[in-house]
Amino acid sequence: MSQYISDKKAEELEIKANEARELLIEMLTEAGSGHTAGSLGMADIFTAMYFHILNHDPKNPEQEDRDRLILSNGHITPIRYAVMAMAGYFPIEELKTLRKFGTRLQGHPEKDRLPGVETTSGPLGSGLGQAAGYAYAAKMDGKKFRTYCLMSDGEQDAGATWESAMFAGKYKLSNLTAIIDRNNIQIDGMTENIMPLENLHAKYEAFNWHVLEIDGNNIEAFVDAANEAAAIYEKPTVIIAHTIPGKGIKEIEFDYRWHGIPPGAGPEDIFKKSEQAQKFLAELRTLDGKIESEHQ
């Protein structure tokens, strides 16, 4: 279970998150495919999960009392892989095998390929039902682990998501925390143009959920929200995490065109394809020093 986070620990996690972003750009460039914007935006949350919040052990990924992390929007798994490698689940060098033939690091995570991955994901809208099932079973068996479900905002368009939300609300699954990556983009444009989601907060409250809204790129705010969720005993909690797609690379932030495109294949209105990976890495490496100076 998460604990209070000090300023020093928050700074350490911010630096780790930026390192994960750098690894991500290298991975996607090597693979020549993959999702850039959402992965960059979720680096802070995955770093906080694996280095502060989750009860887990990379050396014993099947320990019975581990917390379960269900990734519903499996297309952002490259950033999860980066953070898992940093946490010690597998060698960092293996990240360069992303999406290659025979790799354990598939474009969407597969449970039987990689230790520490709880479910196979891909079909959007499936994850909350899987997570609710884990949480319900844990209550039936008297288990104390917590289940976390990460979802995209775009998959709130899926009816199965709301069936699962209704189930979790009915059975008061207080051991379940859902996290929505509210970055306002999906593959064809902005969410509010394609299929408006708001008022998302009120919708989950109507399904008997405790609802929190935070800056998803603020690690301290996310840890505080996770702590609050763990203290709620009569209903499940959803954290609506407002994140910046493309976070860390100003030129592509909030640009939905980078949803499913890797560096080297993106729009050329700012950087030529041949320069994109180099420019992105240079910008992220500059951020490392800025993060340290902000905390001095």
If you write DSSP's letter for every residue of 65-88 in order, what string do you get? TPPEEEESSGGGHHHHHHHHHHHT
Query: Which pLDDT belongs to residue 187?
Result: 87
pTM of the predicted structure, to 2 decimals:
0.95
Written as six digits, the tokens of 290 are 């800025």
Written as six digits, the tokens of 192 are 């509010």
The domain that holds 68 is classified in CATH as 3.40.50.970
Q: Is the pLDDT of residue 295 over 70?
A: no
Q: For residue 92, tell me if it sits in a domain.
A: yes
Q: For residue 1, tell me if it sits in a domain.
A: no
Q: For residue 2, tell me if it sits in a domain.
A: no
Rounded Cα distance between 284 and 250, Å, is: 10
Q: For residue 245, tell me if it sits in a domain.
A: yes
Instruction: Express each pLDDT in 219-265 by its tens digit.
Output: 999 999 999 999 999 999 999 999 999 999 999 999 999 999 999 99
Q: For residue 199, tell me if it sits in a domain.
A: yes
- Mean residue pLDDT of the chain comes to 94
The one-letter amino acid at 6: S
- Please give the residue range of the domain that contains residue 206: 7-294
Of 20-24, 45-49, 70-74, 187-191, where does mean pLDDT reach its minimum? 187-191
Q: Is the pLDDT of residue 296 over 60?
A: no
Q: For residue 34, tell me if it sits in a domain.
A: yes
Query: Which pLDDT belongs to residue 289?
Result: 66
Q: What is the mean pLDDT of residues 80-92?
A: 98
Q: What is the mean pLDDT of residues 176-191?
A: 94
Please check whether residue 96 is in contact with residue 34, taking contact to mean a CB–CB distance below 8 angstroms.
no
Q: For residue 153, tell me if it sits in a domain.
A: yes
Angle at 295 between CA 289 and CA 296, to 5 degrees: 90
Q: For residue 244, tell me if it sits in a domain.
A: yes
Domains identified in the chain, total number: 1
191 closest CA partner among 264, 236, 243: 243
Rounded Cα distance between 219 and 46, Å, is: 10
Query: Which pLDDT belongs to residue 2?
Result: 56
